[in-house]
């Protein structure tokens, strides 16, 4: 049964309503004519990825897959920030169990979005550093608005992006550009990102970006969905399998790394220098 039917749509809306305790952090709408879903991240103020938002994204992706979504547009409710990446305040002086769940859910989001059977586009209508860039990279196509930044700046904060994300970057912009970008932790302006292929198109407004996203999704209208998804799985499967094999070990390394006092000190400094909000003592 296709996701676009009114019955499935109602089921999905109820699911989202029931799932969220404080109102949905991801708003999902479906264009009944095209069958394309738009998932809008709406965790104020910068869609930083805490456990609750990551869990909701993960459940949304699961429902879209289950309901045979015809295409997904991922975007932000903010007109300044697509996503600021992992919630740095939650990584600071953390509860080890919570950050274990956080990293594991982040991995799930990558597996579900990078490996989705349906086509995906990120409408990057704001800044997209680190985990924000990760969400955009998981999609098949990126349309970005002008005057924002995007990139994997992990090296600047004192760590390396995980292997699956490095591979995702490499698959998108090629090995040489990926090496330059990742070792320097570069954040690219929209036009620079277009030049190196980190984004596919630039738009002047969100409306124009959505039109471009729909145009991309419509390219697959006449391609048998199973042929399309088998081909995507063949191209992306090795990345996902490698992560699945390594999942638990990576979570352990991540928890060790993040709870280490050296990392905590440099994270504290980064927050003090870069984020307006001051640490709660």
Ligand X SMILES: CCCCCCCCCCCC/C=C/CC(=O)SCCNC(=O)CCNC(=O)[C@H](O)C(C)(C)COP(=O)(O)OP(=O)(O)OC[C@H]1O[C@@H](n2cnc3c(N)ncnc32)[C@H](O)[C@@H]1OP(=O)(O)O
Token pair, residue 193, equals: 């990102």
Output the smallest distance, CB 198 to ligand X, in A: 16
253 binds ligand X (CB under 6 A): yes
Output the smallest distance, CB 265 to ligand X, in A: 14
Q: Is 154 a catalytic residue?
A: yes
129 binds ligand X (CB under 6 A): yes
From residue 156 to residue 195, the character string flagging contacts with ligand X as x (rule: CB under 6 A) and all else as - is -x-x--x---------------------------------
Positive or negative: CA dihedral 216, 222, 223, 229 = positive
Output the smallest distance, CB 129 to ligand X, in A: 4
8 A C-beta contact, residue 128 and residue 82 = yes
Among 56, 108, 140, 154, binds ligand X (CB under 6 A): 154
220 binds ligand X (CB under 6 A): no
Q: Is 95 a catalytic residue?
A: no
Among 71, 85, 115, 151, binds ligand X (CB under 6 A): 85
Token pair, residue 60, equals: 């949304």
Stretch of residues binding ligand X (CB under 6 A), selected from 66-74, 79-87, 139-147, 223-231: 79-87
DSSP for 154-214 reads HHHHTS---HHHHHHHHHHH-HHHHHHHHHHT--EEHHHHHHHTSSSEEESSHHHHHHHHH
Cβ proximity to ligand X: between 18 and 262 the closer is 262
Among 218, 250, 264, 268, binds ligand X (CB under 6 A): 250
Among 225, 260, 274, 279, binds ligand X (CB under 6 A): 274
**Number of chain positions touching ligand X (CB under 6 A):** 28
Output the smallest distance, CB 154 to ligand X, in A: 5
8 A C-beta contact, residue 196 and residue 151 = no
Identify the burial level of 234 via C-beta atoms within 10 angstroms of its C-beta, where 0-12 means exposed, 13-18 middle and 19 or more buried: exposed
CA-to-CA dists, residue 270 to 17, 161, 278, angstroms: 36, 17, 11
Catalytic residue among 61, 86, 137, 165: 86
Token pair, residue 230, equals: 């088998």
Three-point CA angle 22, 139, 45, nearest 5°: 35
Among 54, 88, 123, 196, binds ligand X (CB under 6 A): 88
Token pair, residue 211, equals: 């039109």
- What share of residues in the chain are helix, strand, coil (percent, to 5)? 55, 15, 30
Q: Running DSSP on this structure, what letter comes out for residue 81?
A: B
Among 86, 113, 123, 209, binds ligand X (CB under 6 A): 86
- Contact positions vs ligand X (CB under 6 A): 45-46, 48, 80-81, 84-89, 127, 129-131, 153-154, 157, 159, 162, 250, 253-254, 257, 274-277
> Which sequence positions are flagged as catalytic?
86, 131, 153-154
């Amino acid at each position: 049964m296709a996701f676009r039917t009114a019955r499935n749509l109602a089921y999905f809306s109820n699911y989202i309503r029931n799932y969220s305790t404080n109102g949905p952090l991801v708003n999902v709408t479906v264009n009944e004519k095209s069958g394309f879903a738009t998932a809008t991240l709406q965790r104020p103020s910068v869609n930083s990825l805490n456990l609750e938002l990551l869990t909701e994204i993960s459940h949304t992706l699961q429902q879209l897959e289950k309901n045979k979504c015809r295409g997904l547009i991922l975007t932000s409710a903010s007109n300044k920030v697509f996503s600021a990446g992992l919630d740095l305040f939650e990584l600071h002086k953390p509860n080890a169990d919570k950050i274990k769940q956080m990293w594991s859910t982040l991995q799930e989001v990558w597996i579900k979005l990078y490996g989705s059977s349906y086509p995906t586009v990120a409408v990057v209508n704001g800044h997209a550093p680190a985990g924000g860039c990760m969400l955009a990279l998981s999609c098949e196509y990126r349309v970005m608005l002008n005057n924002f930044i995007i990139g994997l700046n992990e090296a600047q904060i004192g760590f390396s992006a995980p292997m699956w994300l490095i591979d995702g970057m490499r698959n998108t912009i090629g090995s040489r550009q990926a090496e330059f970008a990742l070792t320097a932790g570069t954040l690219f302006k929209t036009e620079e990102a277009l030049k190196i292929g980190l984004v596919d198109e630039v738009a002047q407004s969100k409306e124009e970006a959505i039109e471009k996203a729909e145009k991309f999704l419509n390219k697959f209208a006449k391609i048998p969905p199973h042929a399309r998804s088998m081909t995507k799985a063949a191209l992306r499967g090795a990345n996902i399998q490698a992560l699945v094999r390594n999942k638990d070990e990576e979570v352990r390394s991540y928890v060790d790394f993040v709870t280490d006092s050296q990392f905590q000190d440099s994270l504290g400094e980064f927050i003090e220098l870069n984020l307006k909000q001051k640490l709660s003592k």
